[in-house]
Amino acid sequence: VDAGGNFNIDFSWINQEVNLDDQPKGRSEFNQGDSIGVAESDTPVLANRPYIRHHRGENGKADPMWIQAPVEDIRRVAEGVKPAGKKQVQESAGETSAAEKPEQKKPGKEKTPEAHKPGPEEPAGDWETRKEGIRDRLEYLKDLYEDGLITESEYQDQKQEILEDLQ
C-alpha cells in the first residue's frame, strides 16, 4: 500500500509455463528481471472495475502489468458496499426494482450530461480516482479497437458502458 492509500499489484511471469524441475518455458523475454519496468505486454492485466486502474509510469502511459486500487474501495467491496458510481447488480432472480429500471427515453432533444460533482458521501479524492480509472479503461478500449482486436460495434458498446460510470 502506497502513501496515497492505493493497493498496488504488479504481475510477472504471465503466459509462462512453469516447470518445477526446470527453467520456465515460453516467452520469457517479456518478463525478465523487474516486472515493474515492463512498458508493453501481449497480455496486459485488465483493470475492469471502476476503482481499479493501471499505474502510470514516468512517461505518463499506463503500465500494462501494474494495477492499483484504493484500499477504501477494496474495503467497501469486501463489506458488500459498492464503490461510488457503479451500478448495483441485484443477485436475486434477475429482477430489478422500479428505482433501478432504466428510464424510458422520450422523443426529442437529448440533454448533454452535466459534469459530475462529488456529493457529501463521496470525497473529492474518490471522484479523481474514478475519473482516472475511467480514462484508463477508455484508453485501453481504444487500443484494442485500433489494434483490430474488437469490432467497431463492440468498441462503441463498451465505450458507452464505461461512460455511463460518469453519471
- pLDDT, one tens digit per residue, over 68-124 is 999 988 888 888 776 554 443 333 334 444 444 444 444 444 333 444 444 555 555
In this prediction, residue 112 carries a pLDDT of 38
Q: Please provide the average confidence, as pLDDT, over all residues in the chain.
A: 69
* Nearest in space to 12 (alpha carbons), one of 68, 66, 55, 69: 66
Cβ neighbours of residue 100 under 8 Å, at least 6 residues apart? 88, 90
d(CA 61, CA 108): 40
| pLDDT band per the 50, 70, 90 thresholds, residue 156 | very high
Which three cell numbers, joined as nine digits, stand for 128? 479523481
Give the DSSP letter of residue 84. T
Reported as type and span, the H/E element at residue 122 is none
In this prediction, residue 116 carries a pLDDT of 46
DSSP 3-state of 83 = coil
In the predicted model, is pLDDT for residue 31 greater than 60?
Answer: no
Domains of the chain, residue spans: 6-86+119-164
In this prediction, residue 101 carries a pLDDT of 42
Q: Rounded to whole angstroms, what are the CA distances from 56 to 2, 14, 60, 67, 114?
A: 14, 20, 5, 9, 28
User: Who has greater pLDDT, 56 or 37?
Assistant: 56
In this structure, what are the phi and psi dihedrals at residue 113, rounded to the nearest 5 degrees? -65, 140
In this prediction, residue 80 carries a pLDDT of 78
